[in-house]
Structure 1
Amino acid sequence: MSLTTNSEYGARPRIWFAVYQLLWHLLLPLAFVRLAWRARHAFSYLHHIPERLGFGYSKPITQGTIWIHAVSVGETRAAQPLIDAYLARCESILLTHMTLNGRRTGKQLFAKEIASGQIRQVYLPYDICWAVEHFLKTFKPKLGLFMETEAWPTVVFRCKEIGLPLFLVNARLSERSARRVSHFGKAGRALFQAFAGILAQTEFDAQRYRSLDVKGVQIVGNLKFDVPLDPGLVEQGKVWRQDLHVSQRLMVCAASTRDGEETVILKAWKDLLLNHAFAIAPLLCLVPRHPERFSEVADQINSAGLKFRRRSEWSNIPNDCAGIDIVLGDSMGEMPMYYSASDLVLMGGSLLPFGGQNLIEACAAGCPVLLGEHTYNFQQAALDAIDSGAAKRIKGELLLTEPIALMESLKELLLNTAELKKMSDAAKDYLVKHQGATNKILAALDQQTTC
């Protein structure tokens, strides 16, 4: 496989790319050690190992498919409206992932289509020349769509060389990521310039790609606004919420929390309960982002001296919450239920510098959102939600040892049900206002691939 290409942007950075390939070959054993380590919690990490090297595809291969790469859970859910649109056109889909949870999510969302063969689901191979080459020769897709931030150099450059149109869709680029790319100079810019096109979420994202000398960047909006919530889970959540409201109990969902944030949240929640500001104490539903941390977080709750039950202990909707302070959301794929049952969402990933998690799904359920200061992964969405009245930021400095600012912000909102109702209505309006990215992306792709 050639290390150079005569694209309109110049040659592939030869020395940089050679070093990159060398590092991949040196680190490849560690990648498998990492999978084996994770298999301690879920043996499925060791399934489909040959696919990670571009081999081991047992079923007949359908060529000429639409190839959509969604690295993990968030990207897979965001891709749902786009995949549905292509399925409605009777296109066959090759859906690739890098993570086990992404693959599980895809299987959950598209079980019927996978069973029928309309969707083929595999892992994207590691970004090594021979693995990528075998993958592309095996499937021969007619169009490639990478979701959001994925830009694997070997894949991107090779698609450019063989004339496979590869687009970065629902694309976002934080200021921090843009600085990292710029540190690689021409090599970093060449990577994004090698895409057939970049369809960005916001003007912020588009400007950052343009700062890398990428041409033809289009702004199409955010696919996450078009993602439908599972109606069954929404209904379950509403029943749970109704049961809570009968006892006049409010619930806060701390959603998709990251390592270190639970300590802050549990301290603030304990202080809130000890404050005795409520005639009936509110309930916290704590949902860690990564399932392998469920037991760890359970231990933290125990150590904090708070009473809790796991979601997994209920066969259906947890409707008997008397005597507990916290529900530990140790389940996958049930966020619409948690959101629909809640009066307020505290968005994980925003309390510590992780960049924030997806607040749009909470707004789709009509749930007000409380944000920390770290929302750079959803910069425009967070600003728009705050401007529309659907979200607020924590007031004051969030200290890790004494998170009084978080406690006070929670108390202020939970004691003002009229404000929560106003924010809930604003959340629904905010969602509707920003929908439509799916049709814009399809129109842009149709135009560029037929030219």
Structure 2
Amino acid sequence: MNRTLYTLLFHLGLPIVAVRLWLRGRTSPAHRQRIGERFALGLPAMRRGGIWVHAVSVGESITAAPMVRALLARYPDLPVTVTCMTPTGSERIKALFAQEPRVQHCYLPYDLPWAAARFLNAIAPKLAVIMETELWPNHIHQCARRGIPVALANARLSARSARGYARFARLTRPMLAEMSLFAVQTETEAARFRQLGARPETVQVTGSIKFDLTIDPQLPRRATALREEWQAAQRPVWIAASTHAGEDEVVLAAHRHLLVSHPDALLILVPRHQERFNSVFALCRQEGFSCVRRSLGVPVTADTSVLMGDTMGELLFLFALADVAFVGNSLVPNGGHNLLEPAALGKPVLSGPHVFNFLDIAAQLRGAGGLREVADAAELAEAVRELWQQPAYAQAMRDAGFAVMKANQGALARLLKALVSCF
């Protein structure tokens, strides 16, 4: 498949895209809003000539935030346009940069040549920075036509994704050759990009900027105060964060096991996607758990066994409330989510076995003793129980997580140095 065929198929698939938006809009009305932006129509008024940063959704937006702030500081006269693809990502971007007037935001238009051209004509960036793996052939080609350097920042590429790109080499090799920088997390990923067609001189190993996460010192204090308000300072509390379909049942089964030995245990359950909030809440009730929703402001009482985190932008705070953290998307074969956020907060970290999107981070944490992997509800319950009952074991996992974080910091400075060379 070459870019011409890809573009033709994309146009033919637009009715499917419209149906998908409509279906998702039934449970998440935000998917039906601002549709014009997805075709570069009705874009908000934008300053031209700055830096364009694309972060597909919530996770990438959080990862990109320190880089965006550093770029704003280095280039005080330039605007930064931050795009995403999802309503939850959009809300997170708005919250992250609410106090920064030079950050402007819209959805990234679909990867159609005319939409990409209209978008680039509207903002005329001096540099395009794409976070992690979100590569769109027509957007990149339209940048190349205009002489706009394109950098892939904090880039990661699993073996499975590399095989997928290789199957469409006539499309992906020219796209990668048009890019100016691949700031990758590991040498293994650098080799994959070079093999797929990236020019060797454009590939640099800068590490993962996720390790450069800084925690607001007020966050743990706020969490401690809220637990005291709940009269839960001594209650055993654990969190299952960013769960996906198929995991909530396992987590609730584990919590049921834990309630046998710790009847006052509290689970903070945080589904990854907003459209699942209602169904997961209904599942908790159906399974017989006393559950309250964070968004409603209902206080946690001694009778509450599950708090459902159904708010946006609070995940770090919810991690801070817990004693032990399980990171989801890992009991199902989807590749996992960011393991470093709970580690940075000093939480023992648990995950399922499917962490192929974070292989290097997981390997480092596991090797240091800062990550324990579980396969099912029984193993999850046993891991949480041991961490509650063995304070020395929990402290060892905390210390190991901190050590891994500290050993890997500095990626943000290396990334910024590489981006500056692209101008």
Shorter-chain TM-score bucket reads: over 0.9
Does the Cα contact within 8 Å between 2:127 and 2:422 map onto a contact in 1?
no
Q: Specify whether residues 340 and 445 from structure 1 end up closer, same or farther in structure 2 by C-alpha distance, changes over 3 A only.
A: same
Q: Distance in 2 between matches of 1:235 and 1:336?
A: 13
Q: Deviations over 1:409-438 (max 9, x none)?
A: 222222212211222233233222222222
1:70 aligns with 2:55: yes
Structure 2 residue matching 1:112: 3-state secondary structure: coil
Q: Report the equivalent of 1:6.
A: none
Q: Distance in 2 between matches of 1:228 and 1:38?
A: 34
Q: Displacement of 1:233 after TM fit?
A: 4.0
The structure 1 residue matched to 2:176, chosen from 185, 192, 202, is 192
1:335 aligns with 2:322: no
Structure 2 residue matching 1:39: 3-state secondary structure: helix
Please list every run of 5 or more consecutive structure 2 residues that lacks an aligned counterpart in the other structure: none
Q: Distance in 2 between matches of 1:282 and 1:39?
A: 36
Residue 273 of structure 1 aligns with an amino acid whose one-letter code is: L
Q: Deviations over 1:276-325 (max 9, x none)?
A: 3x4x532111100011111111111122222222212326xx5x431122
The structure 1 residue matched to 2:348, chosen from 368, 371, 394, is 368
Residue 55 of structure 1 aligns with an amino acid whose one-letter code is: L
Q: Deviations over 1:168-210 (max 9, x none)?
A: 1110111111111111234333322321110001223222212
Residue 405 of structure 1 aligns with an amino acid whose one-letter code is: E
Q: Distance in 1 between matches of 2:356 and 2:157?
A: 9
Structure 1 residue matching 2:196: 3-state secondary structure: coil
- Name the stretch that deviates more: 430-439 or 234-243: 234-243
Q: Specify whether residues 240 and 417 from structure 1 end up closer, same or farther in structure 2 by C-alpha distance, changes over 3 A only.
A: farther
Q: Displacement of 1:244 after TM fit?
A: 7.1
Q: Specify whether residues 46 and 348 from structure 1 end up closer, same or farther in structure 2 by C-alpha distance, changes over 3 A only.
A: same
Does the Cα contact within 8 Å between 2:182 and 2:204 map onto a contact in 1?
yes
1:345 aligns with 2:325: yes
Does the Cα contact within 8 Å between 1:235 and 1:337 map onto a contact in 2?
no
Aligned length: 419
Q: Specify whether residues 182 and 251 from structure 1 end up closer, same or farther in structure 2 by C-alpha distance, changes over 3 A only.
A: same
Q: Deviations over 1:337-359 (max 9, x none)?
A: 11111111011011111100111
Q: Report the equivalent of 2:386.
A: 412
Q: Deviations over 1:37-83 (max 9, x none)?
A: 22223333233222111121242x32211110111101111111111
Q: Distance in 2 between matches of 1:57 and 1:334?
A: 29
Q: Report the equivalent of 1:160.
A: 144
Q: Displacement of 1:93 after TM fit?
A: 0.4
Q: Displacement of 1:152 after TM fit?
A: 0.3
Structure 2 residue matching 1:169: 3-state secondary structure: strand
Q: Distance in 1 between matches of 2:192 and 2:231?
A: 46
1:307 aligns with 2:290: yes
Q: How does 1:220-369 map to 2 (within 5 A)?
A: 220-241=206-227, 248-274=234-260, 276=261, 278=262, 281-314=264-297, 318=299, 320-369=300-349
Q: How does 1:79-90 map to 2 (within 5 A)?
A: 79-89=64-74, 90=76
- Name the stretch that deviates more: 305-314 or 377-386: 305-314
Q: Displacement of 1:248 after TM fit?
A: 2.6
Q: Deviations over 1:66-112 (max 9, x none)?
A: 11011110111111111101111213101111111111100000012
Q: Displacement of 1:219 after TM fit?
A: 0.9
Q: Distance in 2 between matches of 1:282 and 1:345?
A: 14
Q: Distance in 2 between matches of 1:331 and 1:339?
A: 13
Q: Specify whether residues 241 and 221 from structure 1 end up closer, same or farther in structure 2 by C-alpha distance, changes over 3 A only.
A: farther
Q: Report the equivalent of 1:8.
A: none
Residue 39 of structure 2 aligns with an amino acid whose one-letter code is: L
Q: Report the equivalent of 1:426.
A: 400
Residue 75 of structure 1 aligns with an amino acid whose one-letter code is: E
1:105 aligns with 2:92: yes
Q: Distance in 2 between matches of 1:448 and 1:109?
A: 26
Q: Report the equivalent of 1:379.
A: 359
1:136 aligns with 2:116: no
Q: Distance in 2 between matches of 1:131 and 1:210?
A: 29
Does the Cα contact within 8 Å between 2:239 and 2:325 map onto a contact in 1?
yes
- Name the stretch that deviates more: 148-157 or 229-238: 229-238
Does the Cα contact within 8 Å between 2:28 and 2:274 map onto a contact in 1?
no
- Name the stretch that deviates more: 202-211 or 176-185: 202-211
Q: Report the equivalent of 1:172.
A: 156
Q: Specify whether residues 199 and 245 from structure 1 end up closer, same or farther in structure 2 by C-alpha distance, changes over 3 A only.
A: farther
Q: Report the equivalent of 1:5.
A: none
Residue 147 of structure 2 aligns with an amino acid whose one-letter code is: G
Q: Distance in 2 between matches of 1:63 and 1:144?
A: 13
Q: Distance in 2 between matches of 1:76 and 1:265?
A: 27
Could you say what the CA RMSD is over the residues aligned between the two structures, in angstroms? 1.9
Q: Specify whether residues 31 and 231 from structure 1 end up closer, same or farther in structure 2 by C-alpha distance, changes over 3 A only.
A: farther
Does the Cα contact within 8 Å between 1:35 and 1:46 map onto a contact in 2?
yes
Q: Distance in 2 between matches of 1:66 and 1:377?
A: 27
Q: Deviations over 1:25-47 (max 9, x none)?
A: 11213322322322223333233
Q: Report the equivalent of 1:96.
A: 83
Does the Cα contact within 8 Å between 2:227 and 2:233 map onto a contact in 1?
no
Q: Specify whether residues 282 and 204 from structure 1 end up closer, same or farther in structure 2 by C-alpha distance, changes over 3 A only.
A: farther
Q: Deviations over 1:192-246 (max 9, x none)?
A: 2321110001223222212314223111111222233355544322323456786
Q: Distance in 2 between matches of 1:360 and 1:51?
A: 33
Does the Cα contact within 8 Å between 1:241 and 1:342 map onto a contact in 2?
no
TM-score w.r.t. length of structure 2: 0.93
TM-score w.r.t. length of structure 1: 0.88
Does the Cα contact within 8 Å between 1:239 and 1:341 map onto a contact in 2?
no
Q: Distance in 1 between matches of 2:169 and 2:79?
A: 38
Does the Cα contact within 8 Å between 1:371 and 1:392 map onto a contact in 2?
yes
Does the Cα contact within 8 Å between 1:360 and 1:431 map onto a contact in 2?
yes
